[in-house]
Amino acid sequence: MPDRLILLPGEKCVWVELKTKGGHLEEIQKLQHRKLEQIGQRVEVVWSKADVDKLIEEIKRSLPER
């Protein structure tokens, strides 16, 4: 399973795989990501702090106004 799970309002979630630059996804990770996506789950792989920041901003924009 990916490293992190972000739980969002409305029964939504984002599975997040954390990698470092120069790293790679193992075949078992790719398989697990495909399985999650096949059942309608969102899976993101982040390779840097900039990627994390970008994902957080994207998620924040997608949330309903409070």
Q: What pTM value is reported for the model?
A: 0.89
Domain ranges in the chain? 4-62
Query: Long-range contacts for 26-31 (Cβ within 8 Å, ≥24 apart)?
Result: 29/2
Please list, residue by residue across 30-56, b when 16 or more beta carbons sit within 10 angstroms of its beta carbon and e when fewer do: eebbeebeeeeeebbbbeeeebeeebe
Helix/strand/coil for 16: strand
Residue 66 predicted with pLDDT over 80: no
Identify the pLDDT of residue 46: 97
Cα within 13 Å of Cα(6), Cβ side = 17
> Do 18 and 3 form a contact (C-beta atoms < 8 A)?
yes
